[in-house]
Amino acid sequence: MSLDHIPGLGKAGFVTSDSRRAFTLCLKWLPPLVASLTLSTGCASTIYKSGRFHGVLKSGSNRSEIRAVLGEPVESGQDRDFGTSAYDDFVVRGPVCDPSRAAGASIGAGMTFGLSEFIALPQALWWCLTDRECKRVRVHYSMDWRYKLHFVEAAERTSAFTCEVPHVEQGVPADRGQPFRSE
């Protein structure tokens, strides 16, 4: 039985010079390609993680530190979705650090060996430069009032929260709700 009909194989199944040339060419270009894809992976994720308030919305921050930076919450309470944990809701403008988006960009980059960065990086840059909408940020705390996790949600989905600054008359206390914090 002859193996001559299989491209790249000569008599008795030995590799011919044409297939060696193609293999050598692949070995020549594969390492720089893998290195460039590996080095470019994670840029979009880093942009999403470095949004506003990334210095305080992290493990180890306590409730008073978070409130000092984000302002007074528009709502506080107990939530049973993630165990029993206290939460504060804040209304802010601009791109807030979003671990969900960062995780999505990282997973996409890992699954495509970095190729998704060609799409995710321009999206992250656009998000960072143009996102000036109101958002509701729900911060969950552990039992000792330390940061546990947070969620970022568009204000359209939460009609109870507004980004309007309440009108304050002279001599009248401003207890009609909390304005957004724009820093």
pLDDT confidence of residue 8? 53
pLDDT confidence of residue 175? 37
Q: Which residue has the tokens 């939530």?
A: 79
Percent share of the chain, pLDDT over 70: 71
pLDDT confidence of residue 133? 86
Question: CA 9, CA 160: separation in Å to the nearest integer?
Answer: 71
User: In Å, how far are 14, 25, 26, 85, 179 from 19, measured between CA atoms?
Assistant: 10, 10, 11, 63, 69
Decide: 56 and 96 in contact? Cβ < 8 Å.
Answer: no
Nearest to 91 by CA among 69, 74, 110: 74
Question: CA 171, CA 181: separation in Å to the nearest integer?
Answer: 22
Strands 85-93 and 147-154: unpaired
65 alpha-carbon distance from chain centroid? 22
Residue ranges in the chain assigned as alpha helix (H): 17-40, 43-49, 63-70, 99-111, 117-130
Instruction: Tell me the two tokens of residue 61.
Output: 């921050």
pLDDT confidence of residue 111? 86
Average pLDDT (76-99) is 85
| pLDDT above 60 for 40 | yes
pLDDT confidence of residue 173? 38
For residue 167, the surrounding DSSP H or E stretch is: none
| pLDDT above 70 for 38 | no
Pairwise pLDDT comparison (12 vs 72), residue with the higher score? 72
Burial zone of 55 (CB within 10 Å; 0-12 exposed, 13-18 middle, 19+ buried) = exposed
Q: In this predicted structure, which of 23-32, 98-107, 114-123, 171-180 has the lowest mean pLDDT?
A: 171-180
pLDDT confidence of residue 141? 92
Residue 9's identity, in one-letter code, is L
Average pLDDT (56-85) is 88
pTM exceeds 0.75 for this model: no
